[in-house]
C-alpha cells in the first residue's frame, strides 16, 4: 500500500521535517497542530483561541484528505497546563458530534513555538 502526502495552504506549513498528514489506504495520520494562523504563522492568543485554531487546522487538513473531523477515530492532545482540560472539553463538545472518537490528553513541559496546546488526529475514511 502506498502512502500519499497531504498538504493544504489552509493550514500552517510544517515547521520541521514532517508532513501535515500522510494517507495510507483509508487511514489519515494528521501531524500535531498548534494554534498557528495559517496565513501569518503566528500563534493565537491564549489557550481557547489556540485550541480552536488547532481544530480549524485539523479540519482543513482533513478536508484536503477527503474527510472531516467526523472521520476522526483518535485525537492526541498535548497541553502545557492540565488546568485547561475543562476548556478543551468545551471546545471538543462544540466542534464534534457523538459518538465521539477516542482521545488522550497529557500535560507536557513545553511545545514548539511557545504554544500551549497541540492536537493530532487519526482519521478513517469510508
Contact criterion met (CB below 8 Å) for 47 and 64:
no
- How do the domains of the chain map onto residue ranges? 3-124
Just give the CATH number of 3-124: 3.30.1330.40
Whether residue 104 contacts residue 76, with contact meaning beta carbons closer than 8 Å, is answered with yes
Q: What is the pLDDT of residues 8-62, one digit of tens each?
A: 999 999 988 999 999 999 999 999 999 999 999 999 999 999 999 999 999 999 9
- 115: its cell numbers: 504554544
Instruction: Quote the CA–CA distance of 69 and 35 in Å, as a whole number.
Output: 16
Q: Which of 94, 7, 3, 126 is nearest to 57 (CA)?
A: 7
What is the percentage of the chain residues whose pLDDT exceeds 90? 97
Quote the pTM value: 0.97
For cell 489557550, the residue is 47
Does residue 95 have a pLDDT over 90? Answer: yes
Amino acid at each position: 500500500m502506498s502512502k500519499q502526502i497531504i498538504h493544504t495552504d489552509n493550514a500552517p506549513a510544517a515547521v520541521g521535517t514532517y508532513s501535515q498528514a500522510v494517507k495510507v489506504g483509508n487511514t489519515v495520520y494528521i501531524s500535531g497542530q498548534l494554534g498557528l494562523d495559517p496565513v501569518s504563522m503566528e500563534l493565537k492568543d491564549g489557550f481557547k483561541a489556540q485550541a480552536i485554531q488547532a481544530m480549524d487546522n485539523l479540519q482543513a487538513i482533513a478536508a484536503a484528505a477527503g474527510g472531516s473531523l467526523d472521520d476522526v477515530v483518535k485525537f492526541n492532545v498535548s497541553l502545557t497546563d492540565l488546568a485547561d482540560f475543562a476548556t478543551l472539553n468545551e471546545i471538543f463538545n462544540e466542534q464534534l458530534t457523538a459518538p465521539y472518537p477516542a482521545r488522550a490528553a497529557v500535560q507536557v513541559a513545553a511545545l514548539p513555538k511557545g504554544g500551549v496546546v497541540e492536537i493530532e488526529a487519526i482519521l478513517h475514511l469510508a
